[in-house]
Amino acid sequence: MAGNFEADLVFAGGEGGYLPSADVWIVIDVLRATTVMTRWFELGGTELYPVKSPDLARELVKELRGRGSSPLLMGEVNGIPPEGFDMGNSPLDLNYDVIREHYCGVMSTTNGTGALLEAESTGCPVIAACFRNYSACLDHALTVGTRVGILCSGRKHRPSWEDTLCAGAVIEDMTRRGEVMMSDSARMALTLWQNSGNDTESCVRLSNHAQYLTQIGYSDDISFACEIDSSTVVPMLAENEERTILRAVSGSARPYQREGATVKKADPFEELLAYTRKKAN
């Protein structure tokens, strides 16, 4: 259904703390927080607590364990797992068995979890998106409102190449659905995406963070993060909860894949739809 939309974009979390008015916020951290969050729910995870720092994450895990829960403690500082964490921040470290043991997770990362909490402070609904699920996230965001704010996590409060590219893909998708009034920052991201060529992974690999992750042994995470629209999961901050918690919007999660299943691709119909949409422009 065509509509009239607004798109605004903030290039990096914590960028001076100002977030413009919007009906809904989409937070992007392609490498790797929102990609990990999406994978968590794809595999059947039910709850994920984003936390600002490793110490706060450890405290929350202790509290949850005291209540009989067995959360997985995950995340990174400078790309590697902090002391005492169960795992780092690689989506490829998640699998069916890990989820089956935990279902609930506590996550702290350098930029992505902080950006989610920053977006939450606006009081608007917040969705976690990445290249893998951005169309599904936009579908849901547009059921919430027509004024979409996009918060790129960035890297240490500075813009990141890959998050800006993904934001551009979201905005391009919006333009296929109706008229979009864009902020200058949104238009910059759209222009970057539309001039990035057809090989998203090669383009993303140019980024500072992708090169750093490759240096420390996480090159495969970049390939995984660039599997465009391979997921229909929509992680969203739950409202009216005692703590900030992510859940998958009901009906958005694909049946999770059992370990060893051939890795997902979007449904053939979805792929054809995405292809025809792209061709139409």
Which residues of the shown chain bind ligand MLT in the complex (CB under 6 A)? 29, 31-33, 76, 79, 89, 109-112, 153, 155
Residue 134 beta carbon to ligand MLT: minimum distance, rounded to whole angstroms: 17
- In the bound state with ligand MLT, the residue whose beta carbon lies nearer, of 111 and 146, is 111
Question: Smaller CB distance to ligand MLT: residue 5 or 49?
Answer: 49
CB of 224 to ligand MLT, least distance (A): 12
* Residue among 50 and 182 whose Cβ is closer to ligand MLT: 50
What phi, psi does 190 have (nearest 5°)?
-60, -45
Beta-carbon contacts of residue 278 (< 8 Å; ≥ 6 apart):
none
Q: In this complex, which beta carbon is closest to ligand MLT, that of residue 8 or of residue 163?
A: 163
How many Cβ atoms from other residues are within 10 Å of residue 177's Cβ? 15
Q: Which is nearer to ligand MLT, 150 or 182 (CB)?
A: 150
The 10 Å CB-count burial string (b at 16+, else e) for 131-168 is bbbbbbbbbbbbebebbbbbbbbbbeeebbbbbbbbbb
Q: What's the closest the beta carbon of residue 275 comes to ligand MLT, in angstroms?
A: 30
Instruction: Tell me the closest approach of the beta carbon of residue 52 to ligand MLT, in angstroms.
Output: 11
Shortest gap between Cβ of 153 and ligand MLT (angstroms)? 5
Give whichever of 6 and 227 is closer to ligand MLT, judged by the CB atom: 227
Cβ 73 to ligand MLT shortest distance, Å: 15
Least gap, CB of 243 to ligand MLT (angstroms): 19
Q: Which is nearer to ligand MLT, 33 or 126 (CB)?
A: 33
- What tokens appear for 7 in the block? 């798109």
